[in-house]
C-alpha cells in the first residue's frame, strides 16, 4: 500500500513518514499541492494524507484537483485539520475527502483510519474487478450477437426477386441486434411459390434462436422432414401440404410450456401460377392486405390462434383468384403497433391507406419509401419491436 503525505511543515511530514514506514507502508511525501499532483500523475498511490492549511493551495483544493485527475484507480483521501465545527467537515467532504483526523494526530486513531481506508480500497478494487469481468462477458456476448445478426442477415432472401413471374420485395428493421421476425419465399415446384411471415413472441436472443429453428424447418427439402411437402411413392413423388395443415403440424410440434412461453404468429401461403390462385392460412398474424386491380386495398384472412398456445387448434384456409398486377402484403405487428413520440400507434388503417395510395409505384419503391415513412413516424432510427413486411406482386 502506497501512502502520500502532503504537509508544508518538514517536522510534521517527517514524523508521519517514519510512523507510516514503521507500519509497513511505502511512503512518498510532498510539501505542496503542485508536487503532490505531479507524484499522483506518475505513481500509483492509493492513500493521500494531506494537511488542510498549506500555502499555495489548501487541502480541499488538493482534493478537488485529485478528483479531477480521473486516475485509473480510486485514491482514498484523509484530511488532517485543526479546524473545528461541522462547516469545515462539510467543505472537505464536498471537495472530495473521504475521512478526517484532528490535530494533534493520535497515532492509534491514524492507524485505524488508514486501515479503514484500506478496506474501502479493497472493496473498490473488488468491485472494479467484478465490473471488468462483467464488461468482458458483455463484450463476448456482443460479439456473439453480432455474429448471430450477420447469420440472420444472410438468411434474408434477395430483395426484388422474381419467381415464376411473381415479383417479391421486403422490408426488415430489427428492434435489437437479432430479431424474432423471419420471412421467406421459395419455389415449391415448377408451378407453385411458397411464402411466409412469422413473428416469435418477445425480443432478443431467445426469440432469434426460435426464428433460426423455424427458418431451418420451413424448407422444401423432404429429406429434412419438411412440413411443406410430403414424399409419395408414385409420380410426382411429392405432395404439397395445404396451408392450414402446415399450420396445424407446426402447432402440434411447437406446443409451448410454462418455462419458455415461446410461441409465434404466422401467415403462410402459396401461389399457384397455373391456376392463378393464392391459398393462405393465418395463425394469429396481422391480417394480410390484398391490393387488387379492380378494388381498393383491403384486409383479408381469418385470424386464427398463434402457434404453440392452443393444443389441437384448427386453422382455416382462404383461396382467391388473382389477376396480373394484384399485390399481397404480409407484415408484423411491429408496424401497426409502432408508436410515435406522442404514444400514438401507426395502426392498420394508416398502413392500408399507404399501400392504397402507392399502388401504382413499383414494389421496390413502396418498401423503400415505407421504411422512410416509419422512421419519420417513429422520430428516430430505433424501434420497440421488430418490423418486417413482405410484398408479392402477381405476374
Residue 248 makes CB contacts below 8 A (sequence gap 6+) with 313, 314, 315
Does domain 157-393 fall under CATH 3.30.950.10? My reply is: no
- pLDDT, average across residues 213-221: 87
Residue from 333, 349, 343 nearest 385 by CA: 333
pLDDT of residue 102 exceeding 80 = yes
> Where is average pLDDT lowest: 63-72, 138-147, 378-387?
138-147
**pLDDT tens per residue across span 341-361:** 999 999 999 999 999 999 999
**pLDDT tens per residue across span 33-44:** 999 999 999 989
Cβ–Cβ < 8 Å for 392, 271: yes
The C-alpha atoms of residue 29 and residue 17 are separated, in whole angstroms, by 8
Cβ–Cβ < 8 Å for 92, 52: yes
Locate CATH 3.40.50.2300 in the chain. Answer: 2-128
Q: How would DSSP label each residue in 313-382?
A: ----EEEEE--TT-EEEEE-HHHHT-B-TTS-B--HHHHHHHHHHTTTS-HHHHHHHHHHHHHHHHTSS-
H/E run at residue 210: helix 204-217
Quote the CATH superfamily of domain 2-128: Response regulator (3.40.50.2300)
Locate CATH 3.60.40.10 in the chain. Answer: 157-393
Which pLDDT belongs to residue 178?
65
The C-alpha atoms of residue 353 and residue 328 are separated, in whole angstroms, by 14
pLDDT of residue 87 exceeding 80 = no
pLDDT of residue 95 exceeding 70 = yes
145 versus 132: which is more confidently predicted? 132
Residue with cell 405432395: 239
Residue from 374, 62, 114 nearest 389 by CA: 374
**E strands, 93-160, in order:** 99-102
Residue 381 makes CB contacts below 8 A (sequence gap 6+) with 375
Cβ–Cβ < 8 Å for 386, 199: yes
Residue 257 makes CB contacts below 8 A (sequence gap 6+) with none
Which pLDDT belongs to residue 66?
95
pLDDT of residue 150 exceeding 70 = yes
What share of the chain in percent tops pLDDT 70? 97
- pTM of this structure: 0.70
- Give the chain's mean pLDDT: 90
Question: What three-state secondary structure class fits 242?
Answer: coil
**pLDDT tens per residue across span 118-140:** 999 999 999 999 999 999 998 88
**207-238 core/surface letters (b: 16 or more CB in 10 A; e: else):** bbebbbebbeebbbeeeeebbbbeeeeeeeeb
Amino acid at each position: 500500500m502506497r501512502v502520500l503525505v502532503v504537509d508544508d511543515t518538514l517536522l510534521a511530514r517527517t514524523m508521519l513518514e517514519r510512523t507510516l514506514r514503521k507500519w509497513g507502508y511505502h511512503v512518498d511525501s510532498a510539501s505542496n499541492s503542485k508536487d503532490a499532483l505531479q507524484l499522483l500523475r506518475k505513481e500509483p498511490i492509493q492513500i493521500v494524507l494531506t494537511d488542510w492549511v498549506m500555502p499555495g493551495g489548501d487541502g480541499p483544493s488538493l482534493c478537488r484537483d485529485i478528483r479531477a485527475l480521473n486516475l485509473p484507480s480510486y485514491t482514498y483521501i484523509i484530511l488532517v485539520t485543526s479546524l473545528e465545527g461541522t462547516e469545515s467537515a462539510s467543505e472537505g467532504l464536498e471537495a472530495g475527502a473521504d475521512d478526517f483526523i484532528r490535530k494533534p494526530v493520535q497515532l492509534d486513531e491514524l492507524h485505524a483510519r488508514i486501515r479503514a481506508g484500506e478496506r474501502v480500497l479493497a472493496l473498490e478494487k473488488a468491485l472494479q474487478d467484478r465490473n471488468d469481468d462483467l464488461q468482458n462477458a458483455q463484450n463476448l456476448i456482443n460479439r456473439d450477437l453480432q455474429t448471430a445478426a450477420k447469420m440472420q442477415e444472410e438468411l434474408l432472401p434477395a430483395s426484388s426477386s422474381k419467381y415464376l413471374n411473381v415479383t417479391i420485395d421486403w422490408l426488415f428493421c430489427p428492434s435489437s441486434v437479432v430479431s424474432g421476425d423471419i420471412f421467406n419465399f421459395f419455389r415449391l415446384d415448377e408451378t407453385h411459390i411458397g411464402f411466409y411471415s412469422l413473428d416469435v413472441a418477445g425480443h432478443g436472443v431467445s426469440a432469434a434462436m426460435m426464428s433460426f429453428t423455424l427458418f431451418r424447418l420451413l424448407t422444401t427439402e423432404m429429406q429434412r422432414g419438411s412440413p411443406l411437402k410430403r414424399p409419395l411413392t408414385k409420380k410426382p413423388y411429392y405432395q404439397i401440404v395445404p396451408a392450414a395443415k402446415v399450420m396445424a403440424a407446426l402447432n402440434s410440434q411447437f406446443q409451448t410450456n410454462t418455462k419458455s412461453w415461446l410461441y409465434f404468429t404466422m401467415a403462410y401461403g402459396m401461389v399457384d401460377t397455373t391456376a392463378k390462385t393464392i391459398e393462405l392460412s393465418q395463425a394469429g398474424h396481422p391480417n394480410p392486405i390484398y391490393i387488387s386491380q379492380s378494388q381498393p386495398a383491403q384486409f383479408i384472412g381469418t385470424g386464427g390462434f398463434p402457434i404453440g398456445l392452443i393444443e389441437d387448434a384448427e386453422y382455416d384456409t382462404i383461396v382467391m383468384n388473382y389477376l396480373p398486377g394484384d399485390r399481397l402484403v404480409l407484415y408484423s405487428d411491429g408496424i401497426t403497433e409502432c408508436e410515435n413520440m406522442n404514444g400514438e400507434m401507426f395502426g392498420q388503417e394508416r398502413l392500408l391507406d399507404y399501400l392504397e395510395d402507392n399502388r401504382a409505384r413499383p414494389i421496390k419503391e413502396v418498401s423503400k419509401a415505407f421504411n422512410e415513412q416509419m422512421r419519420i413516424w417513429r422520430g428516430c432510427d430505433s424501434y420497440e419491436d421488430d418490423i418486417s413486411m413482405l410484398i408479392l406482386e402477381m405476374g
